[in-house]
Structures are given as structure tokens and as C-alpha cells.
């Protein structure tokens, strides 16, 4: 087999590197591009004019989409600043299934004084066809003992939803990674494994392939490895590439902290 591109993160520009990947070979594009908020990633990718940023976004979307299998999916991290424009771009090419709000659980201290403090990221979930891969059972959240006990009346006995857990819904409250968090690497916008692993488990079959054009600290590659999927991707900054290699070489990649099952409000079906 000559899949020299599989399970590799190439330290190069994603637009150039995509040529390495055969068309129709990717199950899931899961990507977290620069948001164009002026961050310093050791390159100018987050500091473009609005026109250049949107043009560049359209270019990489058009270069990446042919790599997807027909039943593949795409998740894209954004913020409110450019999600309206970029969602429209994607809606012309795919079907939008969800807007997921990632509540970063920012503590209520200080913040903006002339507007409301922004405490969430906006994630778009897109598919190509009706028969897209989606394994809800892999990402259900178990009910806590209290809820199960409260639903112990005979009408609930044998209720599948009570046993298998509930749909994570489209509002995900997961703390951002603090400096002292065991998962934390030296990257300014590293995403929590808990979020990325949920997307991989739901939208990439076991042994499938996940593509991330903007790997950063390599969270997508780590999540794919930990869940038995393959990965491929790119990162422009050589210092971040070194972090990715270190993280991938760790024998034990720290697991996300266990999540306490929450008691869902008014939820009876998935
Ligand atoms: C938002 S960060 C990704 C963070 C990542 N999800 C994580 O958990 O660490 C975006 C990354 O894209 C990289 N980048 C920007 N332009 C790029 C390009 N043309 N090709 C490849 N990587 C690029 C930046 O250097 C930055 O590390």
C-alpha cells in the first residue's frame, strides 16, 4: 500500500499540501482555521484584511471538499465574526446540519464594558448527502443515577433512551484549557480533546480518515489516534509541528477529565 500521506502531519501550507491527498479518500474534515482576530501564530494567517481572509477561506474550502467521500462530513470552528459569511459559502456547497455552540465556560470576571463578553465559539456541521455517516450511540451522554431513579416508574421500564443516554444536543459546555490543564500544550488556541473526540466518534467510522488542514498543536491527530481512526493534516508553523510530533509520540496521551453525567432538563427522547 502506498498511502504515504496517511497518519502524517505535514509541516507546510495546507493549500499546497492538499495535492498529496487523493480525491474521495477522507471521511471527515474537522478543522479549526485562523479566525482572523489578529492572533500571532508565527505567521500572518490570522491578520488578513477581511476580503483576503474570505477569499483565502473560499480557496481552501474548494481545494479540500473534493477530498471528502460522498458520505463524508465537515466540522468547522469559527466565531460570530465570520461564521455568517463562511456558513453561507459552505451552504452553497453542502447541507448544514447543525450550528453547535461551544460554551467555553469563561468565568464571570471583568470582560467587555461596551458590549456583551463573548464566551462561545461557533461550530458548523455540514454533510454532502442524506446517507452521511453519523453514530449517535457513540457519543450519547449517560443519565445520572438520580434521573434514572426518578424514571423508575413502570412506564419507563425498558425505555431505550434511559439506558443508552441522551443526545449531546447543540450547546456544548466544556471548559477551555487552562494553563495548568494536563492536556495543555504551548499553543494559543488549542481545543479540548473532549470536543474533538466527540466529533470524530460521531462522524468518522472506526478505521476511517480525518483531515485537519490547520492542526495547531495536533489535537485532531491525537483524537483520531486515541479513537482508532487515521488522520492527515497540515501546520505552517515549525514550532507547532514539533509540538504535534511530541504529543503524538507520548505513550499515554492524557485523557480528558471524566465528565459528570448531568441531569438533563425536560429531556425524554434523543
Ligand atoms: C486555530 S489554530 C488550530 C488549533 C488546533 N485546533 C489545536 O487544537 O491546537 C490554527 C492553526 O492554523 C495554522 N495555519 C495557518 N495558516 C495555515 C496554512 N495555510 N496551512 C497550514 N496551517 C496553517 C496556524 O499556524 C495555527 O496553528
Residue nearest to atom 12 of ligand 1 (CA): 214
The verdict on the CB of residue 243 being under 6 Å from ligand 1 is no
As a whole number, mean pLDDT of residues 127-150 equals 92
Q: Please work out, in degrees rounded to the nearest 5, the angle formed at the alpha carbon of residue 48 by the alpha carbons of 46 and 49.
A: 145
The verdict on the CB of residue 31 being under 6 Å from ligand 1 is no
In this model, does residue 255 exceed pLDDT 60?
no
Q: How confident is the model at residue 42 (pLDDT cuts 50, 70, 90)?
A: very high
In this model, does residue 256 exceed pLDDT 70?
no
Helices (H), 168-269: 193-203, 219-226, 238-249
CB 75 within 8 A of CB 29: yes
In this model, does residue 152 exceed pLDDT 80?
no
In this model, does residue 270 exceed pLDDT 50?
no
Q: Ligand 1 centroid vs 95 CA: distance in angstroms?
A: 25
Q: How high is the pLDDT of residue 60?
A: 98
As a whole number, mean pLDDT of residues 178-183 equals 92
- The Cα–Cα gap between 131 and 118 comes to 35
Pocket test for ligand 1, best of 63, 214, 226, 243 (most atoms within 8 A of CB): 214
Taking only the tens place, the pLDDT of each residue in 183-232 is: 999 999 999 999 999 999 999 999 999 999 999 999 999 999 999 999 99
Q: How confident is the model at residue 161 (pLDDT cuts 50, 70, 90)?
A: confident
The verdict on the CB of residue 234 being under 6 Å from ligand 1 is yes
In this model, does residue 269 exceed pLDDT 90?
no
- The Cα–Cα gap between 263 and 143 comes to 7
Q: How high is the pLDDT of residue 263?
A: 53
- The cell for 29 is 474534515
Structural domains of the chain sorted by starting position, each given as residue range(s) with its CATH number in brackets: 8-106+116-137+171-249 (3.40.50.150)
Q: How high is the pLDDT of residue 146?
A: 85
Q: How high is the pLDDT of residue 4?
A: 93
Q: Ligand 1 centroid vs 190 CA: distance in angstroms?
A: 10
Q: Lowest mean pLDDT: which of 60-74, 152-166, 236-250? A: 152-166
Number of Cβ within 10 Å of residue 184's Cβ equals: 15
Taking only the tens place, the pLDDT of each residue in 63-113 is: 999 999 999 999 999 999 999 999 999 999 999 999 999 999 988 877 789
Average model confidence (pLDDT) across the chain = 92
77 CB contacts (<8 Å, ≥6 apart)?
A: 31, 32, 33, 35, 102, 121, 122, 123, 191
Amino acid at each position: 500500500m502506498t498511502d504515504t500521506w496517511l497518519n502524517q502531519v505535514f509541516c507546510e501550507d495546507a493549500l499546497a499540501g492538499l495535492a498529496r491527498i487523493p480525491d474521495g479518500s477522507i471521511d471527515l474534515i474537522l478543522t479549526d482555521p485562523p479566525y482572523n482576530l489578529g492572533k500571532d501564530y508565527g505567521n500572518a494567517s490570522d491578520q488578513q484584511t477581511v476580503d483576503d481572509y474570505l477569499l483565502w477561506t473560499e480557496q481552501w474550502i474548494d481545494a479540500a471538499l473534493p477530498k471528502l467521500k460522498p458520505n463524508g462530513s465537515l466540522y468547522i470552528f469559527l466565531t460570530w465574526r465570520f461564521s455568517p459569511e463562511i456558513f453561507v459559502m459552505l451552504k452553497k456547497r453542502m447541507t448544514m446540519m447543525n450550528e453547535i455552540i461551544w460554551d467555553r465556560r469563561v468565568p464571570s470576571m471583568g470582560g467587555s464594558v461596551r458590549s456583551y463578553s463573548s464566551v462561545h465559539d461557533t461550530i458548523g456541521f455540514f454533510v454532502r448527502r442524506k446517507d452521511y455517516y453519523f453514530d449517535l450511540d457513540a457519543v450519547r451522554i449517560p443519565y445520572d443515577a438520580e434521573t434514572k431513579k426518578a424514571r423508575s416508574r413502570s412506564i419507563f421500564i425498558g425505555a431505550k433512551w434511559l439506558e443508552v443516554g441522551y443526545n449531546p444536543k447543540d450547546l456544548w459546555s466544556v471548559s477551555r484549557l487552562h494553563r495548568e490543564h494536563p492536556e495543555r500544550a504551548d499553543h494559543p488556541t488549542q481545543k479540548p480533546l473532549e470536543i474533538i473526540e466527540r466529533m470524530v466518534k460521531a462522524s468518522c467510522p472506526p478505521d476511517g480518515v480525518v483531515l485537519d488542514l490547520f492542526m495547531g498543536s495536533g489535537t485532531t491527530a491525537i483524537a483520531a489516534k486515541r479513537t482508532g481512526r487515521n488522520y492527515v493534516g497540515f501546520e505552517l508553523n515549525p514550532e507547532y509541528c514539533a509540538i504535534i510530533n511530541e504529543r503524538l509520540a507520548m505513550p499515554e496521551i492524557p485523557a480528558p477529565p471524566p465528565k459528570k453525567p448531568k441531569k438533563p432538563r425536560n429531556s425524554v427522547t434523543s
